[in-house]
């Protein structure tokens, strides 16, 4: 029983990444997302990932005025659904 209790935290740490549904875009998705971002006036951005199959998360997107934003895009329309500075 003592070994089970000691192993439990390790098992949770190992299993956690497998539970996450986040993933990067495929090459085709990336082309579409980047085109949508450019169409909205963004000039550069950091990582892009699909968050739990709900929204595309774009980190550190720089708009045409030089301001940095974290964005969420709708998975179907690629419209910006959330914008945080």
Tens-place pLDDT, residues 4-47 = 455 555 544 444 454 567 999 999 999 999 999 999 999 999 99
Predicted local confidence at residue 2, as pLDDT: 55
- Give the pLDDT confidence of 41-75 residue by residue, as tens digits: 999 999 999 999 999 999 999 999 999 999 999 99
Torsion on CA atoms 73, 78, 79, 81, rounded to nearest 10: -20
CATH assignment of 21-84, among 2.60.40, 3.10.450, 3.30.70, 3.40.50: 3.10.450
The set of residues, in sequence order, having a beta carbon less than 8 Å from that of 59 and lying 6+ positions away, is: 45, 46, 47, 48, 70
**Is residue 3's pLDDT more than 70?**
no
Distance CA 22, CA 50 (A): 5
**Token pair belonging to 67:** 């301001």
Distance CA 11, CA 16 (A): 9
Q: Domain residue spans in the chain?
A: 21-84
Predicted local confidence at residue 21, as pLDDT: 78
Q: What is the pTM of this model?
A: 0.75
């Amino acid at each position: 029983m003592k070994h089970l209790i000691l192993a439990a935290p390790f098992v949770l740490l190992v299993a956690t990444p497998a539970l996450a549904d986040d993933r990067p875009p495929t090459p085709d998705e990336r082309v579409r997302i980047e085109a949508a971002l450019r169409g909205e006036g963004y000039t550069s951005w950091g990582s892009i990932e699909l968050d739990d199959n709900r929204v595309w998360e774009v980190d550190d997107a720089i708009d045409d005025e030089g301001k940095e934003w974290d964005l969420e895009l709708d998975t179907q329309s690629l419209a910006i659904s959330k914008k945080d500075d």
